[in-house]
Structure 1
Amino acid sequence: MGNMRINNLSVKETEGLIYTALEAGINVFDHADIYGGGSCEEHFSKALSGNESIREKIILQSKCGIRKGYYDFSKEHILSSVDGILQRLDTDYLDILLLHRPDPLMEPDEVAEAFDQLHHSGKVRYFGVSNHNPTQIELLQKSLTQKLVVNQMQLSIAHTPLIDSGVSLNMNTDNAVNRDSSTLEYCRLNDITLQAWSPFQTGFFDGVFVGDNERFPELNKVLERLAKKYDVTPTSIAVAWITRHPANIQVVLGTTNAARLQESAAGSEIPLTRQEWFELYAAAGNMVP
């Protein structure tokens, strides 16, 4: 469950959404220090106030490194960011801390010092990154004591750079352009869990493709047909397309609608066939050579 927009809900509504997620089998709750300027983390902790027993049943994940107009992976900023995150979430530790977007001025040894301090103090149990390519991960991992366990990337049926170049390798087409340095394959080789953000978006917040028959008529026809076959919703099928991939990708659901959260969670149980997976990929406008 992504928590980027939960500050648009009341505390009571947020509590209900969290319990809906738990009942649907969702136990990872994704945050970032910039979501709502930190208010989303505060909102989440208020929703769980008085329910301390839940803390050990969930995985709390947050991200840091984005500041207003620039990125900052300095030791000082990472440490102060985590202290702020813990205070806002009203918890003693984070299960996972992600570095939000690559910092071109990163000093890997400085990040390593911050991670060591956070790990030894018990403030953070595991570490990962978001929106990083393989070389950036390797550069950071060289200095770290801890193994990076997560890489959060944008992925949906209508936004497939992670998939495209591998399918269209060595072809003179736009899909063959390797835009992410084979990040998907790298993460699989190195046992790094991929998390898919914006699983229903067409691009960088360019709108949701589910139900958009003007821009994605063919894709929605297939989504609706498969939804009827599996007795779910098109949203469920959109999730199933991601979770069908053998990389065991985790889908980050940013919805604040409880029903849509349940629909999405149901999608992870649907065993799309290979033919159906490729049919959806092609219906989104991708070429299958």
Structure 2
Amino acid sequence: MSARTNTADGTPLYGCMGLGGGWDTTPYGPADIAHAEAAVEAALDTGITAFDHADIYRYGKSEAVFGEVLSRAAGLRERITLQTKCGIRLPEDGRPGLYDLRGPTIARRVEESLARLRTDVLDVLLLHRPDPLADPAEIAATLTSLHRQGLVRRFGVSNMSAPQIARLQAHLELPLTVNQLEMSLHRRDWVEEGVLVNTSAGAGVGYPAGTTEYCLAHGIRLQAWGALAGGRFADPEATPAGRLVAELAARKGTSPETVVLWWLQRHPAGIAPVIGTTRPARIRACRDAVARTPELSHEEWYELWTAARGAPLP
């Protein structure tokens, strides 16, 4: 068994989207707080100390219930990294959902997140989705102001391509340090894009070309949302990939969840999985993804990829 060096690269985060009750404006209650406390305790037990939020999760209740947990656990805030996102506005009063990265909106959403999370500073703020109407100079000025006020320590983006990141970074002196994208053994566009060049199948890949390479070249940490693939590989009887995951887990003395996360972490980009399950047992099943260096050989990594895609590589 090899120990993982506790660096930022590849170290999982806990994703708090499932906390706080339903996707509505109904207030959370004691049961929701207890549910959040159990999930946070399980994450801490596995060695996870970074927690990922967004202002829209459960209509703000995910942040609010997490703030309740923080208020009840003396000293916890100093032990963890808090990350949240802004830039999406949910449907309201007959208006469809939209993206909004105007400067005043970003500033207001940060203030609201700080209040819900019951903290004075965010360790990381991500811009949740690209807003086609956004002015990158205005965004940069707002982020710089938030940093100078001591409200946000670091910044990043989510669901953005290399050109979109480069356009924003050109106006921003502070470095963008994170790009969070959907990446898993199920959602493989991020790796397929690199090998389906000059093939007809490449036209169907949605991942923006060159984004992984851009992030690597500029020191931008890749985070993977949906990293456990919704449990698709937890049942060894369901798919050939599920059977292979189970076989590798048994061979290496770990859990299927860890194998699925190792597949991401084994990539040279040092991808950091965001673990979103709210079930304490499944959170704890990810312990070896925190404690151990990914123990997948070159061949095993390709075997998993091929099994999941259900076809040979070109």
Give the TM-score of the pair, scaled to structure 1. Answer: 0.93
Q: CA deviation at 1:236?
A: 1.5
Q: CA deviation at 1:175?
A: 7.3
1:136 aligns with 2:164: yes
Residue identity matched to 2:65: H
1:72 aligns with 2:94: no
Are 2:20 and 2:65, in contact at CA under 8 Å, matched by a contact in 1? Answer: yes
Q: Secondary structure at the match of 2:111?
A: helix
Q: Secondary structure at the match of 2:131?
A: coil
User: Aligned pairs, how many?
Assistant: 283
CA RMSD of aligned residues (A): 1.7
Q: Secondary structure at the match of 1:149?
A: strand
Are 1:17 and 1:256, in contact at CA under 8 Å, matched by a contact in 2? Answer: yes
Give the TM-score of the pair, scaled to structure 2. Answer: 0.86
Question: Larger deviation: 126-135 or 49-58?
Answer: 49-58
Structure 1: 5+ residue stretches without partners: 202-206
Partner in structure 2 of residue 275 of structure 1: 299
Question: Which of 283, 294, 305 does residue 261 from structure 1 map onto?
Answer: 283
Q: CA deviation at 1:271?
A: 1.4
| Cα distance in 2, alignment partners of residues 208 and 260 from structure 1 | 10
| Cα distance in 1, alignment partners of residues 288 and 200 from structure 2 | 38
Partner in structure 2 of residue 82 of structure 1: 110
Q: Secondary structure at the match of 2:72?
A: coil
1:126 aligns with 2:154: yes
Q: Cα deviation per residue 1:101-126 (whole Å; 9 max; x = unaligned)?
A: 11011101110111111000000000
Q: Which has the higher contact order (CA 8 A, sep 6+)?
A: 2
Q: CA deviation at 1:187?
A: 0.6
Are 1:169 and 1:176, in contact at CA under 8 Å, matched by a contact in 2? Answer: no
Question: Which of 148, 151, 172 does residue 200 from structure 2 map onto?
Answer: 172
Partner in structure 2 of residue 54 of structure 1: 76
Residue identity matched to 2:199: M
Question: Which of 263, 269, 292 does residue 247 from structure 1 map onto?
Answer: 269
| Cα distance in 2, alignment partners of residues 273 and 59 from structure 1 | 31
Seq. identity, %: 40
| Cα distance in 2, alignment partners of residues 16 and 178 from structure 1 | 36
Q: Secondary structure at the match of 2:243?
A: helix
CA 1:187–1:211: 2 relative to 1, 3 Å? same
1:194 aligns with 2:217: no
Question: Which of 211, 216, 241 does residue 219 from structure 1 map onto?
Answer: 241
Q: Secondary structure at the match of 2:157?
A: strand
Are 2:193 and 2:209, in contact at CA under 8 Å, matched by a contact in 1? Answer: no
CA 1:159–1:38: 2 relative to 1, 3 Å? same
Structure 2: 5+ residue stretches without partners: 1-13, 22-30, 91-96
Q: CA deviation at 1:41?
A: 0.5
| Cα distance in 2, alignment partners of residues 165 and 186 from structure 1 | 14
Q: CA deviation at 1:12?
A: 2.5
Partner in structure 2 of residue 43 of structure 1: 65
Are 1:5 and 1:40, in contact at CA under 8 Å, matched by a contact in 2? Answer: yes
